[in-house]
Structure 1
Amino acid sequence: MSNTNGLDIAVIGATGAVGAVFLDVAAERDLPVGNLRLLATARSAGRELHYRDQTITVRETSEEALDGADLVFCSATAAASRQWGPRIADAGGILIDDGSAFRMEPNVPLVVPEVNGEDVEWHEGIISIPNCTTTPLALVLHAMRTVAPLRRVTAATYQAVTGAGAAAAAELDAQLAAHGRGEDLPAPEQFPHQIALNVLPHVDAFEEDGYTREELKMRNETRKILHLPDLPFSSTCARVPTMIGHAEAVHVEFSDQAPIGELRAALEAHEGIELMDDPAAASYPTPLNTAGDDRTFVGRLRADTSVEHGAVFWCVTDNLRKGAATNAIQIAEELIRRGKL
């Protein structure tokens, strides 16, 4: 720490959806903040944001604004991460990046602290957090593989609009409001089709093989976090008209016996996971009943009878908290715990 009273911290993208949640979570978890700089684009510079009892004026991201920062959190564009990340590292700071720019770089740890916190030991100034669908899945798979080795994973996601940013959330709001008034819905701008009252099997751009970049992120990032580079993995990612919370329906095939009772016990014992699984009482996680929580919630756990050793489950996570801001702050806590900050 350069400041005996705490860290000198900068937040790039402070005015975005994740940036706002970051400030809340940092206060809740008592992140040791000595000085806080809130940064964004020139368009957002001059806005005032609140952290604890402070009112802080947002500044445009620049070398001057970042000078001397111990720790920088970035939740902006991949271009912004690429522009500022190497400069922060070269200056002796640490970037914890919420974007995709560095996730698959071999010299950049991709970290979910409850899974592979030890990977922060080999950072070179940049640490990435995973995609907001990858984080909860990696957490659950890590718990399950204590029962039996993973053989194959398939998943379908149901992702809230805030995963696409504040403008996407505003678009859903506007469309729902128009529908409620009986008016024609505004034309879509953030999505290729109307998102209100709809489901789009389209998150991020399509690649030549028919998969979207989001689906490839899930596969590649899960493999990296779990240190299983050849894990067979496939997913379909869909955008749904909810505000907060990414849900996933997951099928796991194991290489050996994986009794449901043992999987249940492994999940209950694992940090960061909450089992909400009583179908008779209609108890299972939903985006609404898990919003605002940092845990990954698991329900509908059952045997996959289509394979010899398999399980099926449903999981939900607040995509702005554990899927983004909370995971980033937990990485900072891990660095502090290990004496790296």
Structure 2
Amino acid sequence: WRMDPEVPLVVPEVNPDDVDWHKGIIANPNCSTIQMVVALKPLHDAAKIKRVIVSTYQAVSGTGQKAIAELEKQVRQLFNMQDPEATVYPYQIAFNCLPQIDVFTDGDYTFEEIKMIKETNKIMGDDSIKVTATTVRVPVFYGHSESVNIETEKKLTAKDARVILSQAPGVTVYDNPSEKIYPMPIHAAGEDDVFVGRIREDNTIDNGLNLWIVSDNIRKGAALNAVQIAELLIARDKVGVPA
């Protein structure tokens, strides 16, 4: 239902008003899209994002329990000098990175990458934002990480971005490189917020920023976001199908 034009695709921190026009179904977005747009929306409101380049480092829990078990089993097999068995993924995931999430589509983008592109435009309510994505599965149990480069119409310094994001709902700025402070999956696992760090200007263009975004894909990327949508429906008295 995510890309059905009659169905809202909602991240409560980003487009809460979209729940008002539901017709009985509200879609929960893709996990990697959710955490990205939570961080991008306040920057878009401040300076209008023109282009997004995102590379993801996605945990195996995004595939499900069988993938979690496979990663654990492969690690044990490798430490015991055994050949790892791959059944969930096409290749070994332990100590490896797989540059394929879901099936390949036209133009050799994966379906996961297409989801990030289309869902970002729908959730942000702006089809003019150009998005390109490369999604990668990594040997982490919980927590998706994303390297995100944005180009904006208005200049934002790294300091501007830190101030804006520190005031944004659902966002924790964790950013002090001189003290080796930056978000990692081990920080995000079990937490509700989207963590943002490594905020710095892209010196190859006039109005560019680089961000490192990390979140628990099972919480904010799935269950928590669904609960927040339900809470929003109750608060707005929008439960039930409109007459």
- Shorter-normalised TM range: over 0.9
Q: Name the SS for the 2:117 alignment partner.
A: helix
Higher relative contact order (CA 8 A, sep 6+): 2
The correspondence for 1:221, drawn from 119, 136, 141, is 119
How far off its partner does 1:259 sit? 1.9
Q: Distance in 2 between matches of 1:230 and 1:289?
A: 34
| Corresponding residue of 1:247 | 145
Q: Distance in 2 between matches of 1:161 and 1:327?
A: 19
How far off its partner does 1:231 sit? 1.4
Residues 7-51 of structure 1: CA distance to partner in whole angstroms, max 9, x if unpaired? xxxxxxxxxxxxxxxxxxxxxxxxxxxxxxxxxxxxxxxxxxxxx
The question of whether the paired residues in 2 share the 8 Å contact of 1:277 and 1:284 is answered with: yes
Q: Distance in 1 between matches of 2:185 and 2:162?
A: 21
The question of whether the paired residues in 1 share the 8 Å contact of 2:50 and 2:128 is answered with: no
Q: Distance in 2 between matches of 1:208 and 1:217?
A: 13
How far off its partner does 1:197 sit? 0.6
The question of whether the paired residues in 2 share the 8 Å contact of 1:146 and 1:266 is answered with: no
Q: Distance in 1 between matches of 2:177 and 2:234?
A: 41
Normalization by structure 2: what TM-score? 0.97
The question of whether the paired residues in 1 share the 8 Å contact of 2:190 and 2:216 is answered with: yes
Q: Distance in 2 between matches of 1:195 and 1:289?
A: 22
Note the residue ranges of structure 2 that are not aligned, 5 or more in a row.
Answer: none
How far off its partner does 1:274 sit? 0.1
Aligned pair 1:196/2:118, yes or no? no
How far off its partner does 1:114 sit? 0.7
Which residue identity is paired with 1:238? V
| Corresponding residue of 1:132 | 31
The question of whether the paired residues in 2 share the 8 Å contact of 1:155 and 1:248 is answered with: yes
Structure 1 residue runs of 4 or more that deviate by more than 4 Å after TM superposition: none
Which residue identity is paired with 1:199? C
Q: Name the SS for the 1:110 alignment partner.
A: coil
The correspondence for 1:288, drawn from 155, 175, 186, is 186
Q: Distance in 2 between matches of 1:208 and 1:313?
A: 28
Which of structures 1 and 2 has the bigger CA Rg? 1
| Corresponding residue of 1:94 | none
Aligned pair 1:238/2:136, yes or no? yes
Q: Distance in 1 between matches of 2:123 and 2:148?
A: 17
Q: Distance in 2 between matches of 1:289 and 1:133?
A: 17
Q: Name the SS for the 2:4 alignment partner.
A: coil
How far off its partner does 1:238 sit? 0.2
Aligned pair 1:210/2:108, yes or no? yes
The question of whether the paired residues in 2 share the 8 Å contact of 1:298 and 1:316 is answered with: yes
How far off its partner does 1:308 sit? 0.7
How far off its partner does 1:183 sit? 2.1
Spell out the pairing of 1:15-34 with structure 2 (5 A cutoff): none
Normalization by structure 1: what TM-score? 0.69
How far off its partner does 1:300 sit? 0.1
Q: Name the SS for the 1:135 alignment partner.
A: helix
Aligned pair 1:111/2:10, yes or no? yes
Q: Distance in 1 between matches of 2:11 and 2:77?
A: 40
The question of whether the paired residues in 2 share the 8 Å contact of 1:147 and 1:263 is answered with: no
Q: Name the SS for the 1:134 alignment partner.
A: helix
| Corresponding residue of 1:10 | none
**Percent identity over paired residues:** 44
Residues 246-281 of structure 1: CA distance to partner in whole angstroms, max 9, x if unpaired? 000000000121122221111000010000001111
Q: Distance in 2 between matches of 1:338 and 1:193?
A: 47
Q: Distance in 1 between matches of 2:164 and 2:144?
A: 22
How far off its partner does 1:184 sit? 2.2
Q: Distance in 1 between matches of 2:154 and 2:41?
A: 16
Which residue identity is paired with 1:127? I
Q: Distance in 2 between matches of 1:232 and 1:208?
A: 18
Note the residue ranges of structure 1 that are not aligned, 5 or more in a row.
Answer: 1-101
The correspondence for 1:303, drawn from 201, 206, 210, is 201
Q: Distance in 1 between matches of 2:143 and 2:164?
A: 23
Q: Distance in 2 between matches of 1:162 and 1:142?
A: 26
Q: Name the SS for the 2:14 alignment partner.
A: helix
Q: Distance in 1 between matches of 2:190 and 2:19?
A: 26
Q: Name the SS for the 1:216 alignment partner.
A: helix
Residues 66-107 of structure 1: CA distance to partner in whole angstroms, max 9, x if unpaired? xxxxxxxxxxxxxxxxxxxxxxxxxxxxxxxxxxxx000001
| Corresponding residue of 1:44 | none
Aligned pair 1:176/2:75, yes or no? yes
| Corresponding residue of 1:263 | 161
Residues 275-319 of structure 1: CA distance to partner in whole angstroms, max 9, x if unpaired? 000111111110111110010000000000111100001010000
The question of whether the paired residues in 2 share the 8 Å contact of 1:112 and 1:130 is answered with: yes
| Corresponding residue of 1:149 | 48
